[in-house]
Amino acid sequence: MRRWRPWLISLLVTCVIFGYLLSQIELTQLIDAAVSMDPTYLWMFTILLLLGTVARAIRFWLLLGRSVSVSLLILITMSRNLFIDLLPARLGELSYVYLLTKRGGKATEDGLASVFLAILFDLIALAPLLLLAILMVGSGNSMSRTLLATSAVILGLVGFSVMRLVVPVGNWATRRLAVNERSSWIAKSVKLVKRTVEALKEVQQRKIFVRVLLVSMVVRLCKFGSYYFLVLAIMTPLGYPMAALGFFRVFLGVVSAELAAALPISGLGGFGTFEAAWTLSFSQLGFSTEHAVMSGILAHAVSQIVEYVLGIVALAYLMRPGRTQS
């Protein structure tokens, strides 16, 4: 029973939140909005989603010292995206580590180190985009703007601070823990810390910090750009003018939903918490409650369907017998 408890809690969260959200709209409205989505914008969404996946794979390629082919990393990243959507609190990142080990021939420590560094670069890349969005939108009360701006600054500072502290703290930790390396879990921890420190040193020595940061910016822009076109696909048929659907306005709403989906306690597959955060943020940005609810449900459903299909195809290809990196 304990094994199923997290899944049951997630299912309960999804049911409760969806029950409330669906009570705010008519089901026929949701169906009409789904049928009337603009196919051109949907294609743009899919293209940017694929470009973001390629950019993410290129970033892993750089972080891994170009030791794994980009084509293999694209397939692994597509599979990773599937599990990121399915599992709470970004536990899906572990699927990337597993596939990189099994199909890329890399050590587990290499995979974990590249994930850790990728997350740090994501934080650093997101901070200026979030600040720019707040300046460009300039709507909402001063308290919400101050809170968002403070969050953006904290994200950037945390990313840079951790990046700067990884090497000295990592060296200190390995020296302190080395005494007890006979303990298996301590030995593994020491090995992981050492590899993470080495990976960051390699980034610094190869002078690819700026390059990885720029690729991370592309990853973020493709991610939120794809959602922008998805919002256009949903909202323009509902009568919203383009002037009301500015990129940075949509960006702020999507960031809130993405952060909610990454919480330790979330709905099954992120469903429920994502839509609730989306509805709250888009309502604050001036959208009607009905349209905020409908756009949140449809945006999440469409993005999940596309990533599930791509992820399943990529995973099936990777899991073929004898499939290893050439």
Determine the average pLDDT of the residues in 170-189.
Answer: 57
- Global pTM reads 0.84
pLDDT at 191: 67
Cβ atoms < 10 Å from Cβ of 166: 20
pLDDT at 241: 82
For residues 275 and 281, give the distance between their C-alpha atoms in angstroms, rounded to a whole number.
Answer: 10
pLDDT in tens, 78-126: 999 999 878 766 778 889 999 999 999 888 888 888 888 898 888 888 8
Domain that holds residue 105: 37-317
pLDDT at 326: 44
CA nearest neighbour of 223 among 85, 318, 114, 108: 85
Query: Under a CB-based contact definition with an 8 Å cutoff, are residues 261 and 273 in contact?
Result: yes
Query: Under a CB-based contact definition with an 8 Å cutoff, are residues 196 and 170 in contact?
Result: yes
Q: Tell me if 326 is assigned to some domain.
A: no
Which stretch of 131-140, 285-294, 297-306 has the lowest confidence by average pLDDT?
A: 131-140
pLDDT at 100: 94
For residues 104 and 115, give the distance between their C-alpha atoms in angstroms, rounded to a whole number.
Answer: 15
Q: Tell me if 11 is assigned to some domain.
A: no
pLDDT at 169: 56
Which stretch of 105-119, 179-193, 194-208 has the lowest confidence by average pLDDT?
A: 179-193
Determine the average pLDDT of the residues in 171-191.
Answer: 58
In terms of C-beta density within 10 A (0-12 exposed, 13-18 middle, 19 or more buried), how is residue 151 classed?
middle
CA nearest neighbour of 215 among 62, 96, 82: 62
pLDDT at 141: 46
In sequence order, which residues have a C-beta less than 8 Å from that of residue 314 and are 6 or more positions away?
Answer: 74, 75, 76, 78, 79, 82
Tokens of residue 217, six digits: 């910016």
Q: Tell me if 16 is assigned to some domain.
A: no
Q: Tell me if 24 is assigned to some domain.
A: no
Q: Tell me if 303 is assigned to some domain.
A: yes
Per DSSP, helices labelled H in the chain are 5-22, 27-35, 39-63, 70-86, 93-104, 108-137, 142-177, 184-205, 209-235, 247-261, 273-284, 289-318
Tell me, what amino acid is at 140?
A: G
Which stretch of 43-47, 169-173, 263-267 has the lowest confidence by average pLDDT?
A: 169-173
Q: Tell me if 9 is assigned to some domain.
A: no
pLDDT in tens, 71-87: 999 999 999 999 987 87
pLDDT at 164: 62
Q: Tell me if 310 is assigned to some domain.
A: yes
* Residue 48, pLDDT above cutoff 60: yes
Cβ atoms < 10 Å from Cβ of 116: 19
In sequence order, which residues have a C-beta less than 8 Å from that of residue 13 and are 6 or more positions away?
Answer: 265, 266, 267, 268, 272, 273
Mean pLDDT, the chain, whole residue set = 81
For residues 138 and 243, give the distance between their C-alpha atoms in angstroms, rounded to a whole number.
Answer: 14
* Residue 153, pLDDT above cutoff 90: no
Domain count, the chain: 1
Tokens of residue 8, six digits: 């049951």
